[in-house]
Structure 1
Amino acid sequence: MRAPEAPAPRSQVTRKDVARYAGVSTAVVSYVVNGGPKKVAPGTEAKVQDAIRILGYRPNAAARALKLGSSETFGLVLPDNSNPFFSLLAHAVEDAAAERGFALLLTNSDGNLAKERRHVRNLAARQVDGVVLASVLFEPDLADLEAAEIPSVLLNHGSESPGFNSVGVDLAAGARLAVEHLIGHGHTNIALAMGTNSGNDFDRREQGWLEALEDAGLSEGQIVRGAFTREGGYAAGLRFLASANRPTAIFASSDMQAIGILRAIHEAGLTVPGDIALASFDGSAEAEFSWPPLTTVEQPVRDMAEAAVAALIGARRGEQPEHRTFPTVLRVRQSCGCAGPAA
């Protein structure tokens, strides 16, 4: 018995073509493509999959979205996808979404509020099923998503925003861990390289730095504010090095800033931690592979991403919004003055 002939080339292969080639009904093809709702015998499923492969059938995503009332897509807005921490975060969100059958649209705001708002409007217009927003503001404007009845979750968000889902860590507690560790090495002149945000909002990492110094009876150290980038850290490092009261230790509010500070210190012919000890915040892979490796406050990226996607799924089911706070971990390496990485 001859196998059915493939149809002549055409603009688009339909589900009927697949059904005819496999010798099954269109309903069976639908069950195979959608993974249900009814089970299909393994042999029949194999015939349908062969037909799909041979004919080059591609399901119509628009038609499926219309039928299901869902695009099966989430949007993600990041402030800087070139930052290794946010790259890691995006990867984790994509994995968490994929496990639940959702694709991810990634956008980058470049730390620009106008660009962030434009991305949010575009995602709302595309009728995505939810938006994960790592905003440049602590209290972003979500009116476009609310008007479109699209659930959202604020990611990498350090405080509760009543009425909205949010996920983050206790920034102040994490900063305290790092600064107290530097104090434990005997440092009394500890500076802060503090990243800035578009709203000029007070960052709780600064609060944690202040609290640790105050509890130890130490005077407030120098603060240099700049971008959460390598360039911002480099500029801060130059200013610290030019100070008449040069700090013996620096806490940087991001790993990228710390990388920039490392360069400034090395260029000055000084050593880390011999001349200046250094600790940072985020826990990116780059912190582990800098020289010396950075002691850093690690955020639980996978847990945060899972919680963000679960919050979107919950919102679609009508669950009440909540703020999820995760603990940080201090990853001790050589930049603080310790001999090696902690076990």
Structure 2
Amino acid sequence: MVAMPHTPASAKPTATRKDVARLAGVSTAVVSYVVNGGPKRVSPATEAKVRNAIAALGYRPNAAARALKLGSSEMLGMIVPDATNPLFASLAHAVEEAAAERGYALLIANSNGSLATERRLVGNLASRRVDGVFLCSNLFEPDLRDLDAAEIPAVLLNHSAESPGYDSVGVDLRGGARLAVSHLAEHGHRRIGLVIGTNAGGDLDGREVGWRDGVEEAGLSAGPVMRVQFSREGGYRAGKWLLNEGGWPTAVFASSDLQAVGLLRAFHEAGLRIPEDIAVVSFDGSAEAEYSWPLLSTVAQPVDAMARAAVDALLGGGGHKRNRLFPATLVRRASCGC
């Protein structure tokens, strides 16, 4: 006796548009009009029959065929340097929501701070024929040749420098840092240190320029500068180094909330009181700052407004390219003495 091959219960045949049409008692064209939202109108009663048939059969339209017909993948790409950073997680979420309102899905990729990975991901998104790309680059002038060759538009996001030929959206790093230093000076601090993140191109960060502006405007002498990664570990190492040097400043401005959280740990371990012994103000305005101890005073980036501006720029139909720069806002909490 020959055993018959067993067919798993889950291996059901895939429902087709014809199956939906047959069950709903309509033509396949009507099914297409309902699924694609046009081009012809369908009566509410007929649409309800089609939708009920789709639900009953578990029908899923062929995305590739739909993209070919529409001349659009209805998919956008986004590359971030660190998907674990709360700032980029919040920014990606805000972009995803703004894109969804326009009928687009978002594919998010993480370059992990690597230029080689960033270039590979740009090429990968170009080959997938996405409708546009948001790039939070490791460079002030990233390599976008693959997107240009594929005629795929790009917006440089979290990007404060002018980028001729491309739309860019960022925050006023220099003005935000100056705001932080001025606030610390108002608290009576006369020596304010800087913990500044490093970038792949070695370019001068606007937050460092703003820190120097604030120090000079307040008539202070510049405190120590510590260059570390944009991470908790980087901030922790900066705090340890600062304490080992001795004669530490009475206040520190950190270029990211993550760095400031690392600083706080190093200071707590050394038995320092914050802000009585040393005050801290950071940059970003992420949830990390709101749940540290003490709560971090921070220069907040307008993430939702930046995301919407980036989506508008990418899907706005081209035209004049510009750099959209948003002001940052100082959020006063306990770590600075407020």
TM-score, scaled relative to structure 2: 0.95
Q: How does 1:288-299 map to 2 (within 5 A)?
A: 288-299=290-301
Q: 1:268 and 1:322 mapped to 2: Cα distance?
A: 47
Q: Does 1:280 align with 2:287?
A: no
Aligned pairs, how many? 328
Deviation at 1:122, TM superposition (A): 0.4
- Matched with 1:327 is 327
RMSD, matched Cα: 1.0
- Matched with 1:134 is 136
Consecutive unaligned residues of structure 2, counting only runs of 5 or more, are: 1-10
What letter is aligned with 1:151?
P
- Matched with 1:4 is none
- Matched with 1:50 is 52
- Matched with 1:195 is 197
The match for 1:145 among 140, 144, 147 is 147
Q: Check whether the contact 2:160–2:323 (CA below 8 A) recurs between aligned residues.
A: no
Q: 1:288 and 1:119 mapped to 2: Cα distance?
A: 33
Q: Does 1:75 align with 2:77?
A: yes
TM-score, scaled relative to structure 1: 0.94
- Matched with 1:40 is 42
What letter is aligned with 1:228?
F
Deviation at 1:311, TM superposition (A): 1.0
Q: Does 1:62 align with 2:80?
A: no
Deviation at 1:13, TM superposition (A): 1.8
Counterpart of 1:136 in 2: which secondary structure?
coil
Q: Which moved more, 1:21-30 or 1:102-111?
A: 21-30
Q: 2:188 and 2:58 mapped to 1: Cα distance?
A: 67
Q: 2:94 and 2:241 mapped to 1: Cα distance?
A: 36
Q: Does 1:96 align with 2:91?
A: no
Counterpart of 2:293 in 1: which secondary structure?
coil
Q: Does 1:305 align with 2:269?
A: no
Q: How does 1:232-247 map to 2 (within 5 A)?
A: 232-247=234-249
Deviation at 1:10, TM superposition (A): 5.8
Q: 2:302 and 2:282 mapped to 1: Cα distance?
A: 15
| Structure 1 residues 105-144: Cα deviation after superposition (integer angstroms, max 9, x where no partner) | 1100111111111111100010100000000111111111
Identity %: 66
What letter is aligned with 1:197?
N
Consecutive unaligned residues of structure 1, counting only runs of 5 or more, are: 1-8, 339-343
Counterpart of 2:39 in 1: which secondary structure?
coil
Deviation at 1:262, TM superposition (A): 0.3
- Matched with 1:117 is 119
Counterpart of 2:280 in 1: which secondary structure?
strand
- Matched with 2:15 is 13
Following TM superposition, the consecutive aligned residue runs of length 4 or more in structure 1 with deviations greater than 6 angstroms are none
Q: How does 1:214-229 map to 2 (within 5 A)?
A: 214-229=216-231
Deviation at 1:245, TM superposition (A): 2.2
Counterpart of 1:220 in 2: which secondary structure?
strand
What letter is aligned with 1:332?
R
What letter is aligned with 1:303?
A
